Amino acid sequence: MGLLDLFRREASPRALRREPLFDDDFQRKLEMLALVSRRVFAGRLRAERRSKKKGSGIEFADHRDYVAGDDFRSVDWNVYQRFGKLLVRLYEEEEDLSIYLIVDCSTSMGFGEHKKFDQARKLCAALAYVGLANLDRVTVVGVNDGVVSRMPTTRGKGRIFKVFEFLSRLEPRGSTDLAAALKSFVAQHKRRGLAVLFSDLYDPAGFEAGINILRFNKFEPYVVELCDPAEARPALKGDVRIYDCETGEERELTITDGMLEKMASAVNEYRASIERFCAQKQVPYFAADVNTPFDELVLRVFRRGGFLR
Amino acid sequence: MTLAGLPLSQLLMLGGGAASVTVLLYILKLRRRAVPVPFARIWDAVFRDRQATELFSKLRRLLSLLLQLALLALLILALGDPRPKSALLNGRHIVVLVDGSASMKAIDVQPSRIEVAKAQVRKLVRGLGSADRALIVQMGSLPSPLSTMSSDATELDPAIDALTASDTRADLERGLSFAVDSLRGLPKAEVVVVSDGVLGTSSEIAKHVDLSAVSLEFLPVGKSGTNVALTEFSVRRYPLDKSRSEVMLEVTNTNERPVQVELTLLGDGAVIDVSRFALGPSERLPRYYQDLAGASRTLEAKIRMADGRGDDLPADDHAYALMPERHRARVLVISSGNTYLEAALLLDEYLDVVTIGPGKTIPSEHFDVAILDGVADALPDSVAAALYLNPPEAGTPLALGPTLNDFGFDTWDKKSPILRFLALADVQVSKGHALLPIASDRVLGASDQGPILVSGARAGHAFVALGFDPRNSDLVLRVAWPLFVLNTINAFVEEDTGYVSSFRTGEVWRVPVASSANSATVIDPRGVHHEVPVKEGRAIYLGEQAGFYKLVTGSGVDATNGEFAANLSDLDESRITPVTELALGNKRARPASIGAPGRKREAWVYLLAIVAALSVLEWITYHRRVTV
Give a three-class secondary structure readout of A203-227.
CCCCHHHHHHHHHHCCCEEEEEEEE
- Minimal CA–CA distance to B450: which of B414, B399, B488? B399
The mean of the pLDDT values for chain A is 81
- Minimal CA–CA distance to B239: which of B417, B480, B483? B483
Of B34, B44, B623, the CB nearest to A243: B34
Q: CA–CA separation, B567 vs B509, rounded Å? A: 12
**What pLDDT score was predicted for residue B339?**
93
Alpha helices in B95-199 (DSSP H): 113-126, 153-161, 172-183
Residues of B in contact with A10 (CB under 8 A): 33-36
Residues of B in contact with A2 (CB under 8 A): none
Q: CA–CA separation, B513 vs B497, rounded Å? A: 16
Q: CA–CA separation, B261 vs B273, rounded Å? A: 14
DSSP letter string over B459-503?
TTEEEEEESS-GGGBSGGGSTHHHHHHHHHHHHHTT--TT--SSE
Query: Is B105 within 8 Å of B184 (Cβ atoms)?
Result: no
Q: Is B39 on the interface with A (CB under 8 A)?
A: yes
The angle at the Cα of B122, spanning B121 to B123, to the nearest 5 degrees, equals: 90
Residues of A in contact with B50 (CB under 8 A): 252-254, 259
CA atoms within 13 A on the CB side of B376: 17
Distant-in-sequence, close-in-space partners of A105: CB < 8 Å, separation ≥ 6? A117, A142, A143, A144, A148, A149, A170, A171, A172, A173, A174
Of B37, B47, B628, the CB nearest to A245: B37
Where does residue B73 rank: exposed (0-12), middle (13-18), buried (19+ CB within 10 A)?
A: middle
Distant-in-sequence, close-in-space partners of B131: CB < 8 Å, separation ≥ 6? B4, B83, B87, B88, B89, B90, B91, B92, B151
Kindly determine whether residue A266 and residue B50, on different chains, have CB atoms separated by under 8 Å: no
Report which of residues A119 and B85 the model is more confident about: A119
Distant-in-sequence, close-in-space partners of A296: CB < 8 Å, separation ≥ 6? none
Query: Is A213 within 8 Å of A183 (Cβ atoms)?
Result: yes
CA of B620: which chain A residue's CA is closest?
A: A6
Alpha helices in A41-90 (DSSP H): 77-83
Kindly determine whether residue A9 and residue B34, on different chains, have CB atoms separated by under 8 Å: yes
Kindly determine whether residue B50 and residue A200, on different chains, have CB atoms separated by under 8 Å: no
- Minimal CA–CA distance to B569: which of B322, B264, B238, B317? B317
Residues of A in contact with B28 (CB under 8 A): 6-7
* Residue A45 C-alpha, separation from nearest chain B C-alpha, in angstroms: 38
pLDDT averaged per 10 residues, chain B (length 628): 75 88 80 83 72 61 75 79 64 89 88 92 83 88 90 88 89 89 88 83 73 87 85 79 79 89 89 89 89 78 86 88 78 93 87 90 89 91 91 88 92 89 91 92 92 90 93 93 91 63 84 75 90 85 88 76 84 83 81 61 62 74 59
Q: Is A243 on the interface with B (CB under 8 A)?
A: yes
* pLDDT tens digits for range B327-338: 678 899 999 999
Kindly determine whether residue B37 and residue A266, on different chains, have CB atoms separated by under 8 Å: no
**What pLDDT score was predicted for residue B78?**
76
Over the range A265-282, which residues count as b (16 or more CB within 10 Å of their CB) and which as e?
ebbeebbeebeebbeeee
Strand, coil or helix: B244: strand
Q: CA–CA separation, A16 vs A117, rounded Å? A: 9
B453 C-beta neighbours (distance < 10 Å), count: 25
Q: How far is CA A241 from the centre of its chain?
A: 34
* Residue B53 C-alpha, separation from nearest chain A C-alpha, in angstroms: 9
Q: Are strands B508-512 and B538-542 parallel, antiparallel or unpaired?
A: antiparallel
What pLDDT band is residue A37 in, cutting at 50, 70 and 90? low
Query: Is A201 within 8 Å of A182 (Cβ atoms)?
Result: no
Q: Which of A20-34, A262-276, B212-226, B308-322 has the highest mean pLDDT?
A: A262-276
CA of B628: which chain A residue's CA is closest?
A: A238
What's the one-letter identity of residue B416? S
Q: How far is CA B489 from the centre of its chain?
A: 34
Q: Is B49 on the interface with A (CB under 8 A)?
A: yes
Q: Is A263 on the interface with B (CB under 8 A)?
A: yes
**What pLDDT score was predicted for residue A14?**
46
Q: Which residues pair with B154 in a beta bridge?
A: none
Contacts within 8 Å (CB) and 24+ apart, A183-188: A183/A213, A184/A143, A184/A146, A184/A147, A185/A100, A185/A102, A185/A141, A185/A143, A185/A147, A186/A213, A186/A214, A186/A217, A186/A219, A188/A147, A188/A150
Full-model pTM = 0.47
Kindly determine whether residue B628 and residue A234, on different chains, have CB atoms separated by under 8 Å: no
Of A8, A237, A266, the CB nearest to B42: A266
Distant-in-sequence, close-in-space partners of B55: CB < 8 Å, separation ≥ 6? none
Q: CA–CA separation, A178 vs A213, rounded Å? A: 9
What pLDDT band is residue A5 in, cutting at 50, 70 and 90? very low
In chain A, pLDDT over 90 holds for what percent of residues? 36
User: Where does chain A hold its CATH 3.40.50.410 domain(s)?
Assistant: 24-44+97-223+290-304
**What pLDDT score was predicted for residue B307?**
84
Residues of A in contact with B42 (CB under 8 A): 263, 266-267, 270
Kindly determine whether residue B33 and residue A239, on different chains, have CB atoms separated by under 8 Å: yes
Which DSSP state fits A10?
Answer: P
Over the range B239-270, which residues count as b (16 or more CB within 10 Å of their CB) and which as e?
eeebeebebbbbbbbbbeeebebebebbbeee
**What pLDDT score was predicted for residue B222?**
87
Q: Which residues pair with B390 in a beta bridge?
A: none
- Minimal CA–CA distance to B143: which of B163, B121, B118? B163
Query: Is A154 within 8 Å of A141 (Cβ atoms)?
Result: no
Report whether pLDDT(A290) > 70.
yes
Report whether pLDDT(A97) > 70.
yes
Report whether pLDDT(A19) > 70.
no
3-state helix, strand, coil in chain A (%, to 5): 40, 25, 35
Region A190-203: what's the mean pLDDT? 90
Alpha helices in B196-324 (DSSP H): 205-208
* Residue A253 C-alpha, separation from nearest chain B C-alpha, in angstroms: 7
Beta-carbon contacts below 8 Å between A and B: 109
Integer angstrom CA distances of residue B471 from B234, B389, B408: 37, 10, 14
Of A204, A241, A246, the CB nearest to B32: A241
What region does B81 belong to: left with phi over 0, alpha with psi -120 to 50, or beta? left
Q: Is B48 on the interface with A (CB under 8 A)?
A: no
Q: Which residues pair with B322 in a beta bridge?
A: B298
**What pLDDT score was predicted for residue A52?**
47
**What pLDDT score was predicted for residue B200?**
65
Helices and strands (H, E) in chain A, number of each type: 9, 11
Kindly determine whether residue A236 and residue B625, on different chains, have CB atoms separated by under 8 Å: yes
Of A10, A241, A266, the CB nearest to B46: A266
**What pLDDT score was predicted for residue B124?**
87
Report which of residues A299 and A39 the model is more confident about: A299
Kindly determine whether residue A10 and residue B35, on different chains, have CB atoms separated by under 8 Å: yes
Region A140-161: what's the mean pLDDT? 91
Distant-in-sequence, close-in-space partners of B531: CB < 8 Å, separation ≥ 6? B519, B520, B521
Residues of B in contact with A200 (CB under 8 A): 38-39
**What pLDDT score was predicted for residue B444?**
94
Q: Is B31 on the interface with A (CB under 8 A)?
A: yes
Interface with chain A: mutation pick from B25, B32, B616, B624, highest number of A CBs within 10 Å: B32
Kindly determine whether residue B49 and residue A249, on different chains, have CB atoms separated by under 8 Å: no
Q: Is A266 on the interface with B (CB under 8 A)?
A: yes
Region A214-225: what's the mean pLDDT? 91
- Minimal CA–CA distance to B348: which of B480, B471, B483, B476? B483
* pLDDT tens digits for range B457-506: 888 789 999 999 999 999 999 999 999 999 898 888 765 444 667 888 88
Residues of B in contact with A254 (CB under 8 A): 50, 53, 57
Kindly determine whether residue A240 and residue B38, on different chains, have CB atoms separated by under 8 Å: no
Residues of B in contact with A244 (CB under 8 A): 36-41
Kindly determine whether residue A234 and residue B37, on different chains, have CB atoms separated by under 8 Å: yes
CA of B33: which chain A residue's CA is closest?
A: A240
Strand, coil or helix: B329: strand
Kindly determine whether residue A242 and residue B57, on different chains, have CB atoms separated by under 8 Å: no
Which DSSP state fits B150?
Answer: B
Report whether pLDDT(A96) > 70.
no
Kindly determine whether residue A262 and residue B35, on different chains, have CB atoms separated by under 8 Å: no
Of A111, A237, A252, the CB nearest to B38: A111
Residues of B in contact with A8 (CB under 8 A): 34
Q: CA–CA separation, B373 vs B393, rounded Å? A: 13
Kindly determine whether residue A263 and residue B33, on different chains, have CB atoms separated by under 8 Å: no
Q: CA–CA separation, A55 vs A273, rounded Å? A: 42
Q: What radius of gyration, in Å, describes the C-alpha atoms of chain B?
A: 38
Kindly indicate whether the domain formed by A24-44+97-223+290-304 is annotated with CATH number 3.40.50.410: yes
Kindly determine whether residue B628 and residue A238, on different chains, have CB atoms separated by under 8 Å: yes
Region A95-115: what's the mean pLDDT? 87
Report whether pLDDT(A47) > 50.
no
* Residue A200 C-alpha, separation from nearest chain B C-alpha, in angstroms: 10
- Count of residues for chain B? 628
Region A22-32: what's the mean pLDDT? 76
Q: CA–CA separation, B457 vs B464, rounded Å? A: 9
